Amino acid sequence: MKMIIAVIQDKDSQKLLNKLVDNNFRATKLASTGGFLKSGNTTFMIGTEDIRVDKCLQIIKESCQSRQQLVAPVSPMGGNADSYVPYPVEIEVGGATVFVLPIENFLQF
């Protein structure tokens, strides 16, 4: 048995949840916050049999697309902010960060 932990953008969470349910995967959905952009993320914890891991990863990959987004850089700390002009920077966001962990024991009460 494996535990799949997938950290995705909030925008993709409902689409992923629907596809997981359609394919008989049981998941726990948690609200989380990203460290880089400090924006909302969703973390899914999915327990599944070893033979279904590839199918689950395929669903995550298809549901969580990366996209370009403009962000305003944070002003410098301790420096002269008068000469600092923040220009939006285009970065790639989205997709998924996925961890697959072995499960030694699974209990359900």
CB-neighbour burial class of residue 57 (10 A; exposed 0-12, middle 13-18, buried 19+): middle
pLDDT of residue 91: 57
CB 12: neighbour CB atoms within 10 A?
Answer: 21
Average pLDDT, the chain: 82
Mean pLDDT across 52-70: 86
pLDDT in tens, 19-33: 999 999 999 999 887
Higher pLDDT: 80 or 103? It is: 103
pLDDT in tens, 1-59: 999 999 998 888 999 999 999 999 999 999 887 665 566 789 999 999 999 999 999 99
Coil, strand or helix at 3: strand
Higher pLDDT: 69 or 104? It is: 104
Angle ∠(62,65,66) on CA atoms, nearest 5 = 155
Higher pLDDT: 2 or 108? It is: 2
Q: Please report which confidence band the pLDDT of residue 103 belongs to, taking 50, 70 and 90 as the band edges.
A: very high
Higher pLDDT: 96 or 51? It is: 51
Its sign, for the CA torsion 36, 41, 43, 44, is negative
